[in-house]
């Protein structure tokens, strides 16, 4: 009992001690950057350089976190600048929330038009060509490896375009327009939601500019990857989850369920995220949020049904589960490669067993920054025959070659937390791929070639632009997420903590990805404006009477 009391006292001090939290966050963010540097340069830099970098970075990040905590406290105290309140009052009197939604939506449609014309009729990228080949070709049947809803949507758009214009390029243009409209709606609704929850005018304007001018978002809105629509629905799920955690209502629950089901339909991991949210909510809130637990669990069950039993009922071949094993197979392949190069020694029996699971040809094509070559040579059937044996093999090799496993993890995943990385595959955001299976004859005919050149240059040079690279960084939402977790701990606010669990689950899945790709991080990137609002709008998760005052002002 005495030990439990001591632990509780330490925890309570931690919750109220801004300095301690700032130190912990400073250490975490310094670790993120240093491990990212290690993944890129390794032993090329001396230990002294890493130490000096660590000291400087810690001082900077500690100061930033302390500043943000104090600014949050200042906002909590109600100390706002008069011009901000006056501008908000004037705008609120002249423009209703519904009218603002329409204005913002039109702005997005107009501002996304140059990008669409620059890559006209769209970017036939990532897995789009493979999905189209499955939809139209009898030689390669449709599988559930890619979300069935997305494959069907792509195929229907291509078919409609070809039916009316006798050209599949018109179908790609139709899909690109539809996707831009859906994403414009999601972003507009997020800004509308921010206004209804008390965000100031300038904050909403900056959110609009972030969504509209971000070259990553502009390109991904025109790309045939499933991650784009998944990101739009993920953003809606996040804000609806905040709503039902903050103030339960049947209408809010219905919105959450609809957005959740759509999210699940466009990415296989959707229902895993919901299940993760349900488990954490059940452990932290228990009876207080029983209605929220029910709707999250129901959404997860419906999402699971759509992505598994329904697929079986339709007699569609399921995807290969090897996708989830990218990290373990990459780690074992790295040790095998080091053994071949004479840098380490792998037990001959272990090596032989590994070569039965992953062919020698695939192991020889090992790349440090991508598991795809190894994954293509991985045999799921062999794994299923001796699942326990290969689990033991993975652990045995890991115990003997721990440093190699850690290095491989950093090289494969550090881009998901290091803001100074943008990866080696940025060209996939604007390139048409798989020309050998372009059965529909898709050709790009840019109407604004100069704007396309701007987007390509920005994508390739963004990591060298001092401020822009941080604002548009794929790691920014991760850093904001951890800062807000510290806020939730400091303010003893389980609601904001549970809302962030959705993002934490998505980030955790990213760490198991076969490569660092910007498209995987898009669901987190589009949440940045909402996360910034949560940092600087503390009243959103405060007492109900405070939030009611905000809503009364809107009315």
With a cut of 80, say whether residue 546 has pLDDT above it. Answer: no
pLDDT in tens, 351-360: 999 999 999 9
Looking at residue 321, its pLDDT comes to 73
Q: Rounded to an integer, what distance in angstroms lies between the CA atom of residue 294 and that of residue 517?
A: 34
Helix 148-165 × helix 128-136 angle, to 10°: 70
Concatenating the DSSP letter of every residue in 468-490 gives HHHHT-TTHHHHHHHHHHHHHHH
Q: Rounded to an integer, what distance in angstroms lies between the CA atom of residue 17 and that of residue 105?
A: 42
Concatenating the DSSP letter of every residue in 234-285 gives HHHHHHHHHHHHHS--HHHHHHHHHHHHHHHHT-TTHHHHHHHHHHHHHHHT
Q: Are 225 and 242 within 8 A, CB to CB?
A: no
With a cut of 80, say whether residue 5 has pLDDT above it. Answer: no
Q: Higher model confidence: residue 294 or residue 316?
A: 294
Average pLDDT, the chain: 88
Q: What are the Cα distances from residue 402, in Å, to 56, 165, 396, 407, 455? A: 29, 58, 10, 9, 41
With a cut of 70, say whether residue 79 has pLDDT above it. Answer: no
Q: What is the DSSP letter of 514?
A: S
With a cut of 80, say whether residue 372 has pLDDT above it. Answer: yes
pLDDT in tens, 102-142: 999 999 999 999 999 999 999 999 999 999 999 998 777 88
Looking at residue 9, its pLDDT comes to 57
Average pLDDT over residues 285-295: 83
pLDDT in tens, 476-517: 999 999 999 999 988 888 888 999 999 999 999 999 989 999
pLDDT in tens, 450-475: 999 999 999 998 888 888 888 999 99
Q: For the chain, first and last CA: distance in Å?
A: 52
**Interior CA angle at 429 toward 427 and 433, to 5°?**
75
Phi-psi region of 451 (alpha: psi -120 to 50; beta: other; left: phi over 0): alpha
Q: What are the Cα distances from residue 212, in Å, to 126, 205, 261, 519, 520? A: 22, 10, 26, 17, 19
Looking at residue 4, its pLDDT comes to 58
Looking at residue 555, its pLDDT comes to 44
Rounded to two decimals, the pTM is: 0.91
At residue 542 the predicted structure's pLDDT band, cuts being 50, 70 and 90, is: low
Q: Which of 76-85, 326-335, 492-501 has the lowest mean pLDDT?
A: 76-85
What HEC string does 276-303 produce?
Answer: HHHHHHHHHCHHHHHHHHHHHHHHHHHH
Looking at residue 549, its pLDDT comes to 43
CB within 8 Å of 143: residues ≥ 6 apart = 134, 316, 317, 318, 319
Q: What are the φ/ψ torsions at residue 304 (nearest 5 degrees)?
A: -65, -40
Q: Rounded to an integer, what distance in angstroms lies between the CA atom of residue 447 and that of residue 245?
A: 46
At residue 3 the predicted structure's pLDDT band, cuts being 50, 70 and 90, is: low
Q: Are 481 and 500 within 8 A, CB to CB?
A: yes
Strand partners of residue 223: 123
């Amino acid at each position: 009992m005495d030990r439990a009391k001591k632990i509780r006292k330490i925890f309570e001090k931690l919750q109220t001690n801004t300095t301690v939290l700032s130190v912990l966050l400073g250490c975490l963010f310094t670790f993120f950057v240093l491990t990212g540097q290690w993944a890129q340069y390794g032993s090329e830099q001396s230990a002294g350089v890493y130490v000096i970098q660590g000291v400087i970075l810690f001082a900077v990040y500690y100061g930033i976190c302390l500043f943000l905590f104090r600014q949050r406290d200042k906002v909590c105290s109600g100390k706002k600048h008069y011009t901000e309140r006056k501008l908000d009052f004037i705008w609120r009197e002249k423009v209703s929330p519904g009218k603002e939604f329409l204005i913002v939506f039109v702005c997005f449609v107009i501002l996304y038009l140059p990008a669409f014309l620059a890559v006209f009729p769209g970017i036939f990228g990532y897995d789009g060509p493979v999905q189209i080949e499955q939809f139209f070709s009898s030689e390669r049947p449709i599988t559930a490896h890619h979300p069935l809803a997305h494959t069907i949507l792509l195929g229907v758009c291509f078919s409609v375009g070809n039916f009316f214009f006798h050209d599949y390029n018109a179908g790609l243009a139709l899909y690109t327009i539809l996707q831009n409209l859906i994403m414009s709606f999601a972003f507009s609704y997020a800004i509308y939601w921010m206004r209804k929850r008390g965000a100031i005018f300038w904050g909403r304007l900056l959110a609009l500019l972030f969504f509209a001018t971000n070259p990553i978002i502009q390109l991904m809105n025109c790309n045939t990857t499933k991650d784009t629509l998944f990101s739009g629905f993920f953003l809606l799920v996040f804000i609806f989850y905040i709503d039902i955690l903050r103030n339960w209502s049947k209408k809010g629950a219905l919105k959450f369920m609809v957005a959740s089901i759509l999210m699940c339909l466009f990415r296989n991991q959707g229902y895993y995220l919901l299940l993760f949210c349900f488990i954490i909510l059940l452990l932290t809130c228990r009876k207080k949020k029983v209605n929220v637990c029910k709707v999250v669990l129901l959404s997860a069950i419906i999402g699971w049904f759509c992505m598994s039993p329904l697929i079986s009922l339709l007699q569609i071949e399921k995807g290969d589960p090897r996708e989830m094993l990218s990290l373990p197979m990459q780690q074992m392949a790295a040790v095998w490669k080091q053994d071949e190069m004479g840098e380490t020694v792998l037990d001959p029996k272990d090596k032989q067993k590994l070569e039965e699971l992953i062919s020698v040809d695939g192991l020889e094509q090992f790349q440090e920054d991508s598991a795809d070559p190894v994954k293509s040579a991985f045999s799921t059937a062999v794994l299923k025959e001796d699942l326990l044996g290969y689990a033991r093999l993975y652990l045995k090799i890991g115990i003997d070659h721990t440093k190699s496993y850690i290095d491989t993890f950093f090289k494969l995943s550090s881009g998901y937390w290091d803001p100074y990385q943008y990866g080696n595959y940025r060209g996939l955001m604007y390139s048409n791929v798989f020309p050998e299976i372009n059965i529909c004859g898709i050709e790009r005919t840019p109407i604004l070639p100069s704007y396309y050149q701007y987007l390509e240059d920005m994508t390739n040079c963004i990591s060298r632009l001092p401020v822009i690279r941080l604002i548009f960084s794929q790691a920014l939402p991760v850093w904001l997420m951890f800062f807000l977790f510290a806020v939730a701990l400091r303010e003893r606010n389980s609601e904001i903590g549970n809302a962030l669990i959705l993002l934490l689950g998505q980030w955790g899945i990213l760490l198991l990805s076969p490569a660092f790709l910007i498209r995987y991080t898009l669901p987190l990137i589009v949440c940045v404006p909402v996360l910034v609002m949560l940092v600087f709008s503390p009243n959103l998760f405060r007492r109900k009477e405070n939030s009611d005052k905000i809503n009364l002002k809107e009315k």
